[in-house]
Amino acid sequence: MTRVGRCRPDVTRSVSMTTADPVAPVHAYEAPLALWYAGHARDLPWRRPDASPWSILVSEIMLQQTPVSRVLPAHAAWLARWPDPPALAAASPAEAVRQWDRLGYPRRAVRLHASAQLITSRHGGRIPESAGELRALPGVGGYTAAAVASFAFGQRHAVLDTNVRRVLARLVRGDFLPAAAQSAAELRLAESLLPGDGMQAAKWSVGVMELGALVCTAARPRCADCPLAGQCAWLAKGRPAPPQRRPTASYEGSDRQCRGSLLAVLRLASGPVPAQELNAAWHDSGQRDRCLAALIADGLVSRYPNGSVGLPGDCVPD
């Protein structure tokens, strides 16, 4: 999952990396990274001092597989409509999917709605602080739980997204890219680099994320601009080329595109529609029927007793 660095100070705990830090660095990477971050970090709403834990959770869910440029307006619109979990919990899943619009992977909207309901009923409308309780929320895995616990509440957790994995692979291991799947060894390495203090650990994690997003990028790393270039194992090896990776499947004509086209019809409708209205959305009837069945199985579409189809929670007219 592609991520960018984001760090939110709690009301009583500042994790700003722009102020003088009285805690000594725990390794040679920490101080130069902190200095670089202070001068180059982007101003993102989920990093600001007044960002709520809800804002951070919403940003984490939206940033899964979606670039920051697309998340920024969607995040602002989401929080303007639903500023806290109880507000979203009071809405229907259909409203959440419509608001999600074309952000991609709309199952995230359904899970975020389910999380808001659970937060409201079980936690009094407040985001739980522990990583274990966060992981119990629908759609929240180990990475997201660690990120929210760290960035919203200043807890000490290794936050391993694609950017962090890539930076550490180059900096410490000397590999151009990490393995396709995260390993236990990667997690141990990330944990070994965390400062002992939770707030310092959050600063370190957000700095590594931002370095991966802006400088140590996947295809064209800008090593001349990297504050850690002098300590980078990959540079010391002479920047060895990566092994060839299998090309990704084309989006054009894929089931994912078909599913998106069917959902677009239902998002624009004011409620359930006759199933035949989906025929014009996709030319291949077999693929269309298969993708509709998959959307129903995933909980993104409901088939109603009168034969119509719609988003989950849509009102069926009498």
Instruction: Give mean pLDDT, residues 17-22.
Output: 37
Beta bridge pairs of residue 310: 302
Q: Check pLDDT > 80 for residue 19.
A: no
Q: Check pLDDT > 80 for residue 306.
A: yes
Number of H helices, E strands in the chain: 14, 3
Catalytic residue among 60, 95, 186, 210: 60
Q: Which residue has the higher pLDDT, 195 or 15?
A: 195
Pairwise CA distance, residues 226 & 216, whole Å: 7
Whether residue 300 contacts residue 268, with contact meaning beta carbons closer than 8 Å, is answered with: no
* Confidence tier at 315 by pLDDT (50, 70, 90): confident
Burial 262-283 (b: 16+ CB within 10 A, else e): bbebbbebeebbeeeebeebbe
- Per-residue model confidence (pLDDT) at position 241: 83
* Confidence tier at 317 by pLDDT (50, 70, 90): low
- Per-residue model confidence (pLDDT) at position 25: 54
Q: pLDDT tens-digit profile of 228-263?
A: 999 999 999 999 987 777 677 889 999 999 999 999
Instruction: Give mean pLDDT, residues 192-211.
Output: 95
Percent of the chain with pLDDT over 90: 84
Active site residue 60: yes
Instruction: Give mean pLDDT, residues 25-54.
Output: 92
Q: Which residue has the higher pLDDT, 314 or 53?
A: 53
Instruction: Give mean pLDDT, residues 184-209.
Output: 95
Q: Check pLDDT > 80 for residue 266.
A: yes
Q: Which of 155, 152, 242, 170 shows the shortest CA–CA distance to 211?
A: 170
Domains delineated in the chain? 30-214 (1.10.340.30), 255-310 (1.10.10)
Pairwise CA distance, residues 179 & 140, whole Å: 23
- Per-residue model confidence (pLDDT) at position 15: 43
Percent of the chain with pLDDT over 70: 90
Pairwise CA distance, residues 49 & 36, whole Å: 20
Q: Check pLDDT > 90 for residue 26.
A: no
